Amino acid sequence: MKSKTGFFLTIEGIEGVGKSTAVKFIQDYLTAAHIDFITTREPGGTEIAERIRQILLTPNPEEVIVPETELLLMFACRAQHIAHKIEPALAAGKWVISDRFVDASYAYQGGGRQLNLDQIKTLDKWVVKTHPDLTILLDAPPALGLARAKHRGEHDRIEQEKVDFFERVREAYLQRAKADPTRFHIIDATQPLTTVHAEIKRSLDEAQRIRGSRQ
Amino acid sequence: MKSKTGFFLTIEGIEGVGKSTAVKFIQDYLTAAHIDFITTREPGGTEIAERIRQILLTPNPEEVIVPETELLLMFACRAQHIAHKIEPALAAGKWVISDRFVDASYAYQGGGRQLNLDQIKTLDKWVVKTHPDLTILLDAPPALGLARAKHRGEHDRIEQEKVDFFERVREAYLQRAKADPTRFHIIDATQPLTTVHAEIKRSLDEAQRIRGSRQ
């Protein structure tokens, strides 16, 4: 379903492109506009989904997580997230801002891990009935993003991947964005922060127009 | 793959039919026959799979596990279990005795939860490349099994289901067994324990013949 009242906005991008700063900017914008919203993230967003996130992101050298497990856990997380957080908030007329959503599975498990795309599409169809109204893709070369992410200290299991993994993730994100230019706004994250914010603001202004036109 | 050296035996059945007692009997038989074996269980069997098992079985009234999540977590568990425990043991020539395996997904998520059978078949095809050589199905009416299970105290999230849920699980197990009579040995678990054990012994004697014929 597309909610008639709420609005579902997702932020996508590889490590270090500034998703957290973007989410903060969006929160300030929505607060100033007196819009009722929640922010959430994937993998995670509910108590059970956060427990699955821990399994997914904790490095475990003694028992490698096989690619199928990673993919199934991501979608198991997502099923909880949609049922217990995203859909109730949208049904209550709220905006939902999610730091990553299903596009990340296409980018990370599809592009990064090079898993069978048909498997991802199948799981998407089974699990995801509620789709984002708008997706902001923050795009930057992995080398830049990873250098920024490095400053934050310890890397999780997925952040420990090599640069070519993130090159494939980025490429998969860009392909997905180009295939659906109405939903995706690609923002060059290498620009100065004020420019990035101005572009996010334009996206949010448009989001308000889209939402307004549905009422 | 069918292992040329090890032997993969699974024990299936609803709560309280005596699976644990059967596994103990099998362990004693294999030990006496000087056969190298491991025993394991589903959901679980590896460190990560056991963590997923906790999520699956812990009752959580505040956040219901949606059926798709349950199904995906079961197969995520299974992927780890196969890669890190079952296949290495079979490759080393050991017998693997598993308290439940993929048939349980058809019985519990298919029969019990009445999830789409095609989804289960699809996940089975993606995840399960190693199939049991022999499966012992301990069969008894749910009322009897649940009464036995009750004596063990606290019920986990799935054991808290009602009798009609387990009637459907039992029926799905029986259908699956009838569709593959070569692999499945159905044992009437309402018989006296000595009779049940005699039938398990016959199954194990046959397992040894099957294994012997492959060498």
Is the whole model's pTM more than 0.90, yes or no?
A: yes
Beta strands in A7-91 (DSSP E): 7-12, 37-41
Residue B83, chain A, CB below 8 Å: the answer is yes
B84 touches chain A (CB under 8 A): yes
Report d(CA B180, CA B132) in Å as an integer: 12
Phi-psi region of A174 (alpha: psi -120 to 50; beta: other; left: phi over 0): alpha
Q: pLDDT tens digits for B15-65?
A: 889 999 999 999 999 999 999 999 999 999 999 999 999 999 998 889 999
Quote the radius of gyration of chain B (alpha carbons, Å): 17
Measure in Å the smallest separation between the Cα of B65 and chain A Cα atoms. 7
Exposure on the CB side of residue A103, measured as CA atoms within 13 A: 31
C-alpha B127 chain-centroid distance: 16
Q: Nearest CA to CA, how far is B45 from chain A (Å)?
A: 12
For the segment A28-47, the average pLDDT, to the nearest whole number, is: 97
SS3 A99: strand
Provide the pLDDT for residue B212: 87
Interval B148-190: pLDDT, tens:
766 676 777 777 788 899 999 999 999 999 999 999 999 999 9
Reported ipTM: 0.92
Q: Answer whether A47 touches B (CB < 8 Å).
A: yes
Structure tokens at A172: 């998969």
